[in-house]
Amino acid sequence: MGSDDSPKDRSGSTVISDQTEKAASRAAQVSGHLTTNDKSTTGRRRRKAKEDELPADYSDILGQLQKLRDLAATPDNKKTGYVRQKEAGKLWVRERIEKLLDEGSWREVGSASGKVQWKQVGPVKEEIESFQPTNNLNGFGKLRGRQVVLTADDFSLRAGHADGALHEKTLYMEKLALKYKLPMIKLVDGSSGGGSVTSIKAQGFAYIPPMLAGQETVAQLNAGIPNLGAALGSAIGLGAARLVACHFSCMAADVGSMFNAGPQVVAGATFEEGLSFTELGGPQVHCTNGTIDNLAANEADCFEQIMTVLSYLPNCGTKMPPTITSEDPVDRQSPELRSVVPRKRERMYNPRRIINAVVDQNSFFEIGALWGRTAIVGLARMGGKPVGIISNNCENLAGAIDAAGAQKIMKHLKFCDVFNLPILQFVDVPGYAIGTVAERTATMRWGVELMKAYYTTTVPLFNVIVRKVYGVAGGIMVDCRDPHARVAWPSGEWGSLPLDGGIDVGHAAELRKIEKEAGLEGRKARWRELHTEYTRLMNPVRSANSFNIEEIIDPACTRQLVAAWCEQIYDNELPERIVKRMGGQLQPVFA
């Protein structure tokens, strides 16, 4: 009865065994469905790809783009243009971009644009045989954290001429800078897409020269979108024009030059033969005539100057200038300023010493130091707030404004106006320059243009009368805003004419009569009497008594007073100014 070999037990065991086998078979079947082996899962053969079938992931297109970018980013060490570039001591265009922009911030636009030689390898398939990129690189990047638009010439490719460029790309970037209100940086080395006679042969006809991007450039300049440029080689024709049009420009002393046409063209037109690039349009030419604002030691110095200027400027005229935290106390006094102006009027002093003592320490950046030297202009900060600086320079023509000085101040007034930079002005002007040189250089014409600039710009202006304020020039500088924001130092003196010449003119008849009756010594004695009398009457305190000058201050306290004015302007007047510009009520003009 208890035997394990009973028929019933054997039958049950057989049933269990069958179920186990079925379960194992089912598991194997499921496992087969889940395997990654294509043959076991699909149960059918893969279709063989056709010879000219294009990949589904577009890897062919992406591969071609990558190859073009790799070719563009890799210089050909054997090409004449590249060899010439390096022999001249110049950086290659992509080396410049790498050194100027923040690391990893460059984003090129039009990276595949250029001339490609294609090789057909199938009915629809092609391969790249050769590639010549366009010779003007464009894109976005960052300068010390600020987004900018950058355009840079590649002189190693057709010297930057039109037959190696695409005007559409350059125009597109100018439009983007205007649309997005981003600063435009221009690294010029060549003609920036300017004309070449080879274009006539390629197109089959001679074209009327277009001025692409001219309207967009002027719009940027007047909108207060910073245009900053550097001559890093020979800026020719259109390239020169793009550079000079900038709000600020600089030239590398070791490799920079600029001209309307090169030495070969000049030799054929004017018979001036054998000119080098430097002799025709080097730094000693254009950094001293105002065509280029600043001289830079080399390319690296150009980059540094561009970054410095940009640090004072907003991205556009509807923005406030960027402020920083200053560690220089705004109430700092400068006792040395009490004796910086000599009591003897004929003696000179260093105006830059005054500027540097009043503004934030190490913040003064001078613009145009080598031209228009009767005036000093630049940028600085007061309590971390950007301001424009204008000063007469008594070390040159005693500070009298000549034609070049008038042009320099005029440009800086417009510069500050479009960028909403309040102006701090140090005044010591005996009048406009006089004499035959002044007349031949049209000093009065440029003096009147300067007057127009003072009265058509509206940016706030604070005057510190350091010494002389005479004639039309003096009146323009200190009387161009209503109400006035001005103070005088104890050394201040003013009038329609400087005292020495004024006595001779105002008392001419009397002095002639005395000389006729008492001789030359009698005339001199009377002249000295008049001089002593006028000197007593010209005590600046007498002017303050009649409120002809609003306040005479201790020179040591100048910084404190100017800083308070600057804070008031930034807190109240500039925000209102921005609103007016956004609404179109105020439209400053630079160009």
Residue 153 lies in a domain: yes
Higher pLDDT: 454 or 24? It is 454
Q: Are residues 289 and 409 in the same domain?
A: no
Give pLDDT, residue 4: 45
pLDDT band at 579 (very low <50, low <70, confident <90, very high): very high
Give the separation between CA 223 and CA 178, rounded to whole angstroms.
8
Q: Are residues 501 and 564 in the same domain?
A: no
Give pLDDT, residue 206: 79
Residue 296 has pLDDT above 80, yes or no: yes
Residue 327 lies in a domain: no
Residue 41 lies in a domain: no
Q: Are residues 355 and 253 in the same domain?
A: no
Residue 16 has pLDDT above 70, yes or no: no
Report how far Cα 23 is from the mean position of its chain's Cα atoms. 81
Give pLDDT, residue 172: 93
Residue 526 has pLDDT above 50, yes or no: yes
Q: Write the CB contacts of 248 (distance below 8 Å, at least 6 apart in sequence).
A: 226, 227, 228, 229, 293, 294, 306, 309, 367, 415
**For residue range 407-457, what is the model confidence (pLDDT) as tens digits?**
999 999 999 999 999 999 999 999 999 999 999 999 999 999 999 999 999
CATH number at residue 261: 3.90.226.10
Give pLDDT, residue 203: 75
Q: Are residues 154 and 297 in the same domain?
A: yes
Give pLDDT, residue 27: 61
Q: What percent of the chain has a predicted confidence (pLDDT) above 90?
A: 77
Residue 524 has pLDDT above 90, yes or no: yes
Q: Are residues 170 and 302 in the same domain?
A: yes
Give the separation between CA 573 and CA 578, rounded to whole angstroms.
9
**For residue range 276-290, what is the model confidence (pLDDT) as tens digits?**
999 999 999 999 999
Residue 47 lies in a domain: no
The mean pLDDT value for 490-496 works out to 93
Phi-psi region of 393 (alpha: psi -120 to 50; beta: other; left: phi over 0): beta
The mean pLDDT value for 150-171 works out to 77
pLDDT band at 121 (very low <50, low <70, confident <90, very high): confident
The mean pLDDT value for 3-7 works out to 44
Q: Are residues 411 and 520 in the same domain?
A: no
Q: Are residues 363 and 452 in the same domain?
A: yes
Say if residue 43 is exposed, middle or buried (CB neighbours under 10 Å; 0-12, 13-18, 19+). Answer: exposed
Report how far Cα 274 is from the mean position of its chain's Cα atoms. 34
Give pLDDT, residue 209: 73
End-to-end CA distance of the chain: 120
**For residue range 65-78, what is the model confidence (pLDDT) as tens digits?**
999 999 999 998 88
Give pLDDT, residue 476: 96
Most confident of 18-22, 170-174, 495-499: 170-174
Give pLDDT, residue 190: 87
Q: Three-state DSSP class for 584? A: coil
Q: Write the CB contacts of 561 (distance below 8 Å, at least 6 apart in sequence).
A: 487, 553
Give the separation between CA 99 and CA 82, rounded to whole angstroms.
18
- CA angle, 319 then 321 then 322, to 5°: 110
Phi-psi region of 185 (alpha: psi -120 to 50; beta: other; left: phi over 0): beta
Residue 322 lies in a domain: no
Q: Are residues 179 and 257 in the same domain?
A: yes
Q: Are residues 389 and 424 in the same domain?
A: yes
Give pLDDT, residue 212: 75
Higher pLDDT: 44 or 543? It is 543
Residue 265 lies in a domain: yes
Give pLDDT, residue 53: 80
Residue 194 has pLDDT above 60, yes or no: no
**For residue range 205-253, what is the model confidence (pLDDT) as tens digits?**
877 777 778 899 999 999 999 999 999 999 998 899 999 999 999 999 9
Tally of domains in the chain:
3
The mean pLDDT value for 509-516 works out to 94
Residue the block writes with tokens 């040395």: 336
Residue 324 lies in a domain: no
Residue 150 lies in a domain: yes
Residue 275 has pLDDT above 80, yes or no: yes
Residue 11 has pLDDT above 60, yes or no: no
Q: Are residues 250 and 171 in the same domain?
A: yes
Exposure of 209 in the CB half-sphere (CA atoms within 13 A): 10
**For residue range 548-569, what is the model confidence (pLDDT) as tens digits?**
999 999 999 999 999 999 999 9
Give pLDDT, residue 458: 97
Q: Which of 433, 374, 441 is nearest to 408 (CA)?
A: 374
Give pLDDT, residue 9: 46
Predicted structure pTM score = 0.87
Residue ranges making up the domain that contains 429:
335-489+553-583
Give pLDDT, residue 1: 43
Q: What is the mean pLDDT of the chain?
A: 90
Q: Are residues 558 and 512 in the same domain?
A: no
Q: Are residues 388 and 423 in the same domain?
A: yes
Residue 508 has pLDDT above 50, yes or no: yes
